[in-house]
Chains A and B, each alone.
Chain A
Amino acid sequence: MTTSAAPALALSDDLDELVAEIEARFDDLTLSRVRAWKDAAPGRLAVGCLPVLAPREVLWAAGALPVFIRGAGDRIDTIRGDAFYQSYICHLPRSTLELGLLGHLDVLDGMIFPNTCDVIRNLSGVWQTTFPQHFVRFVDPPQTGERATAAAFLRADLDLLYRDLCARTGRAPEPAALAEASEAYAEAARAMAALAAARLAEPWNLPADEVYQLRRAGDAMPPRDFAALVTAYVTAARGRGRRAEDRIRVCLVGAFCEQPPVALLRAAERAGCYVVDDDLTLSHESSPTAPRRDGEPMASIVHAALTTPRACAVRYDEHGAAGATLVERVRACRADGVLLAAPSFCDPALLDQPRLTGALDAAGIPHTSFKYSESSGQFQSIREQAGTFADSVKLWGTA
């Protein structure tokens, strides 16, 4: 069944073949692999999840593959989706609607919209009326610091979601399936941690565009298959034998929802940076790492959802520590500076920037900022900006 312990993926140990596999998965906008996975066994569902927060373990336990939908980037022309939004709304909902209107998301049985911002929140309503065939659920992660209250609310929400999905897949909503799903995602999280550590140690062997596309490939993969792919990639990439170049190490911050084009990541690295840490595809990092099998796995999932996620502009900064947390992260990554990259018209990311830059300034950490949209096609200015930033840091230790 879907939550079997062994990965079903046959993987090469050749890096070129692995990268080709990763790129093919990244480019699979029609979700043909998701369709193949569904067709392989009866009763399987696939449910789309918008950034940033998604109850993946609950979906997987119910027999539904979580499929992250992060827009279409610069890979399709957004025409009909554009007709839904004014010029001052970000791009992700436009291309997401375009994917739906093109039929690329027909393989999905439902969509989950987390309360990431007002745009994604309202997209849930647009989706309900535009794609009535989909099961649509809005998930409102608690933003209160009152833990017991938050846990009770989230628990009720996830219990209901689990029961509803199980009713659709014909499975019994059993705790054992939740425990197994948690273990599967914990395995993926461990693989992700190994990937992050490898990139920190030798970013010249794990370029940002590859690492990013690998994580995006995981957006539509069963967790253990994804863990296997990550592990194979890390092993192969570390054997690449490239030598370190004279580049600065940077953290990329602010791109947690609408994604930059891959070419932007390449432009930043070729301009003289190694991206050693980022908040792209943030949702992959929110897995619980210590699932419990002793009777109450849902409690464990709820606890992990409330306590372990990485700080992000869409989560209430209860202790006013966003700036300090970023500084800590930069230091832990031994980064020389920060690229603050935010999508145009992204209120959460852009409203965070002055708070983050204040903390970086106080800590003496160089930074530069720019805006992008997922459909950006011109990177010369970003290359120049990142290049100047890298040169400044190398020459004077500041920007």
Chain B
Amino acid sequence: MTTPVRKEPSMETQKALLAGYFSRLARAKEDKRPVVYTFVPGNLAELLGAFDVAPVYPEVNALQSAMRQRSSDFIREAERAGHSEDVCSYVKCDLGMMMKGNVGPTGEVIPPPDLLLLSFTGCFTFMKWFELLRDQYDCEVAMLHIPYQGDGEITDEMRRYVVDQLQREVIPKLEKVAGHRLDLDRLRERLARSRKAEDDLAWVFRAAQHRPSPIDAYFGGVYYIGPIFTSFRGTDEACAYYAELRADVEARLAAGEGPTTPSGTLSDQKFRLVVEGPPNWTSFRDFWKIFHDEGAVAVASTYTQVGGTYERGFRHDPANPLESLADYCLSCYTNLSLPARSKVLADMVKEYDADGFVVHSVKSCNSFSAGQLHMLREVEKLTGLPGGFIESDLVDARYYGHSNIKNRIESYLQMLAARRGASRPTEVRA
């Protein structure tokens, strides 16, 4: 079923990009670059880049800490300080890390912020998290409230509201900490580069329509989105990385190979799945291996839409920079209504010719999780396919039950196999 692990050029590039990010961040103060804490969904990477500030993404720190098995200590530290076991583990991981000296996942100290920029997009807990951070730092604060698409559409009023906040609140605060005015042409250049990288990333995700799929759009997908969901959007490095990634995927496609996984290349694909919800980070590889061992490949996922719905068609528009940033924030996946999210899932199941879909519900994230059981039934109705449902958490290892998840996935896939009559390998599409 699998072949030995072979590192591809884009993997090394991605790893180097992120390592470089943390090193540059650690040097930000000596480089005299203002530090801005913000969040991933609805982040304003191009705008921050135009001011040459150093962004920090607390969720990225949390998930990177979890992948390095450091999140449990941080969570315990936050709970000792009075934070409830009921609340989001990303928040507690971040606060615990701060309490322990703000040493980041790579072992380097993360500098304190000059500006807290809340991109309040698609997650109410961001606002509370941000209030907790603000109590710890004496710095500038900017709030960007992104209205939720509760009624299923982006209205002109929503767009105007976001643009007004950018003009009256966010840009003036950035100008203050950066010490210079916004250069709109520089912003446009960055948006143009974003668009180029977004084209390549969308192509990569769309490649999963082939059989065998040359990518895993969930477990592999989280590596692909790393640069474009964070500080690299709008940079030449991102353009180069996504071009390289596309070339790697094109090569796999030409060779009829499946995705590279930690357990080897998965070319013998028995099940094509769409996955809803974020992954578990504390046992990421074990989690992936459950799917891999069953010959299941994720051909599409919703988590890879939280920092931009590129696979669904969104592109930044350099001709309308602020409106484009507003539309980006408004259209992130977790800012969509539940019926819209169900439709995205159902469309993916059809467009990627999936055998089924799995909802991974995480305790920490009400934005994703509240209503997912209803979504499951809605998508079943829309597609005629049964869905699978598993539960764990983002970065709290106490909520990851490997055997339970493994049993559920195996049972679900056996049911899919039984439904189609036999566990036959999927055919290669001409």
Which A residues are in CB contact (< 8 Å) with B151? 136-138
Give the CA-CA distance A357 to B337 in the complex, in Å: 35
Q: In the complex where A126-B338, A129-B339, A357-B82 touch, is A146 in contact with B131 (Cβ < 8 A)?
A: no
Interface core residue of B148, B160, B342, B378 (most chain A CB under 10 Å) = B148
Which A residues are in CB contact (< 8 Å) with B206? none
Interface core residue of B132, B157, B340, B370 (most chain A CB under 10 Å) = B370
Quick one: which of B125-181 are within 8 Å of A by CB?
A: 125, 127-129, 131-132, 134-135, 143-145, 147-148, 150-151, 157-158, 160-161, 164-165, 168-169
Which B residues are in CB contact (< 8 Å) with A353? 82, 84
Give the CA-CA distance A85 to B143 in the complex, in Å: 31
Give the CA-CA distance A316 to B371 in the complex, in Å: 24
Any B CB within 8 A of the CB of A163: no
Does A140 lie within 8 Å of B148, measured CB to CB? yes
Any A CB within 8 A of the CB of B369: yes
Any B CB within 8 A of the CB of A121: yes
Give the CA-CA distance A118 to B337 in the complex, in Å: 11
Quick one: which of A136-157 are within 8 Å of B by CB?
A: 136-140, 142-146, 148-149, 152-153, 156-157
Any A CB within 8 A of the CB of B223: no
Which B residues are in CB contact (< 8 Å) with A304? none
Set B86, B148, B164, B361: member contacting A344, Cβ < 8 A: B86
Any B CB within 8 A of the CB of A303: no
Set A84, A86, A129, A354: member contacting B82, Cβ < 8 A: A354
Does B374 lie within 8 Å of A126, measured CB to CB? yes
Q: How far is the CB of B133 from chain A (nearest CB, A)?
A: 11
Q: In the complex where A123-B371, A354-B132, A357-B82 touch, is A347 in contact with B88 (Cβ < 8 A)?
A: yes
Q: In the complex where A123-B371, A156-B157, A357-B82 touch, is A351 in contact with B169 (Cβ < 8 A)?
A: no
Any B CB within 8 A of the CB of A317: yes
Interface core residue of A85, A115, A121 (most chain B CB under 10 Å) = A121
Which A residues are in CB contact (< 8 Å) with B367? 118, 121-122
Q: How far is the CB of B413 from chain A (nearest CB, A)?
A: 22
Quick one: which of A247-291 are within 8 Å of B by CB?
A: none
Any A CB within 8 A of the CB of B251: no
Which B residues are in CB contact (< 8 Å) with A316? 127, 131, 143, 145
Any B CB within 8 A of the CB of A38: no
Total contacts A-B at CB 8 Å:
171
Q: How far is the CB of A327 from chain B (nearest CB, A)?
A: 15
Any B CB within 8 A of the CB of A380: no
Q: In the complex where A125-B339, A140-B150, A142-B161 touch, is A348 in contact with B128 (Cβ < 8 A)?
A: yes
Which B residues are in CB contact (< 8 Å) with A320? 131, 134-135
Does A118 lie within 8 Å of B363, measured CB to CB? no
Set A145, A146, A354: member contacting B164, Cβ < 8 A: A146
Any A CB within 8 A of the CB of B366: yes
Beta-carbon nearest neighbor of A88 in chain B: B363
Set B81, B82, B150, B169: member contacting A113, Cβ < 8 A: B150
Any A CB within 8 A of the CB of B87: yes
Give the CA-CA distance A144 to B160 in the complex, in Å: 14
Give the CA-CA distance A348 to B91 in the complex, in Å: 12
Give the CA-CA distance A149 to B168 in the complex, in Å: 8
Does B371 lie within 8 Å of A122, measured CB to CB? yes
State which size class the interface on B falls in: 35 or more
Does B161 lie within 8 Å of A149, measured CB to CB? yes
Beta-carbon nearest neighbor of B157 in chain A: A156
Set A83, A89, A125, A344: member contacting B337, Cβ < 8 A: A125
Beta-carbon nearest neighbor of B145 in chain A: A143
Q: How far is the CB of B77 from chain A (nearest CB, A)?
A: 13
Give the CA-CA distance A314 to B131 in the complex, in Å: 11
Does A117 lie within 8 Å of B124, measured CB to CB? yes
Any B CB within 8 A of the CB of A29: no
Which A residues are in CB contact (< 8 Å) with B81? 354
Beta-carbon nearest neighbor of A346 in chain B: B86
Give the CA-CA distance A85 to B338 in the complex, in Å: 14
Beta-carbon nearest neighbor of A345 in chain B: B86
Does A153 lie within 8 Å of B161, measured CB to CB? yes
Which A residues are in CB contact (< 8 Å) with B91? 351
Quick one: which of B380-430 are within 8 Å of A by CB?
A: 391
Interface core residue of A125, A142, A144, A350 (most chain B CB under 10 Å) = A125
Quick one: which of B95-130 are within 8 Å of A by CB?
A: 120, 123-125, 127-129
Q: How far is the CB of A98 from chain B (nearest CB, A)?
A: 14
Q: How far is the CB of B350 from chain A (nearest CB, A)?
A: 19
Quick one: which of A307-343 are within 8 Å of B by CB?
A: 313-314, 316-318, 320, 322, 342
Any A CB within 8 A of the CB of B184: no
Q: Add 6 more A-B contacts to A146-B168, A345-B86 (CB < 8 A).
A: A118-B370, A119-B366, A125-B341, A140-B150, A148-B168, A149-B168
**CB-defined A-B contacts under 8 Å, sample of 8:** A115-B124, A137-B150, A143-B120, A144-B165, A145-B169, A146-B168, A350-B83, A355-B132
A: residues with CB less than 8 A from B are 83-86, 88-89, 93, 113, 115-119, 121-126, 128-130, 136-140, 142-146, 148-149, 152-153, 156-157, 313-314, 316-318, 320, 322, 342, 344-348, 350-355, 357-358, 371
The 6 closest A-B pairs by CB, nearest first: A138-B150, A125-B338, A118-B366, A351-B128, A122-B371, A153-B161
